[in-house]
Amino acid sequence: MRYLIIGINISLFLLISSCSEQIEYKLDADIIYKNETNYTIKYHQFDSVTKQRVFVFKLQPNSEKKIEIRGDGADKNIEIDNYQGVFEGFQGRGSILIEYDNSKCLIYFSGEGSTTKNISNYETRIISAHHYEFVYTFTKEEYNQADDCN
């Protein structure tokens, strides 16, 4: 009987200690790029260490591309600021080149508050408690800022 009581106490201890695990919450983001121009856009990043250009995606005229980012380890209460790391992780810390029809280019240098990296320049929509949608629209106005590619 004494061994039975000891066994029950050990089982209860193990059960209680396993219930105190830390819960990790998901942090999901859908980043949608819309092209409202009549030009094909090629989106490139420059690696901040090697300075090499890396092609990321191509966007046809008047179309959109959705990039789904799924993660965990976030805080219980998610706010918009929690997603800044998502943007830095996806877009890196280097410069960005937006190329229009292989003829006009727009470069956003690292640290200059690039419109494609700054979370405040995206339309934001809450899908659920831990799932946000961010939409960036390439417009004719942005195209007009581009220079000839050299």
Looking at the chain, which runs of residues are DSSP E strands?
Answer: 25-26, 28-35, 41-46, 53-59, 63-69, 72-74, 96-100, 104-108, 123-128, 131-138, 147-148
Q: Give me the pLDDT at residue 37, please.
A: 95
State the residue range of the domain holding 109.
23-148
pTM above 0.85, yes or no: no
From 2-11, 44-53, 60-69, 79-88, the region with the lowest mean pLDDT: 2-11
The answer to whether position 58 is within a domain reads yes
The answer to whether position 136 is within a domain reads yes
The answer to whether position 132 is within a domain reads yes
pLDDT in tens, 99-143: 999 899 988 877 665 555 567 778 888 888 778 898 999 999 989
The answer to whether position 12 is within a domain reads no
Total domain count for the chain?
A: 1
Q: Give me the pLDDT at residue 51, please.
A: 76
The answer to whether position 16 is within a domain reads no
pLDDT in tens, 9-55: 455 455 454 544 445 667 788 989 999 999 999 998 887 777 788 88
For tokens 């009987």, name the residue. 1
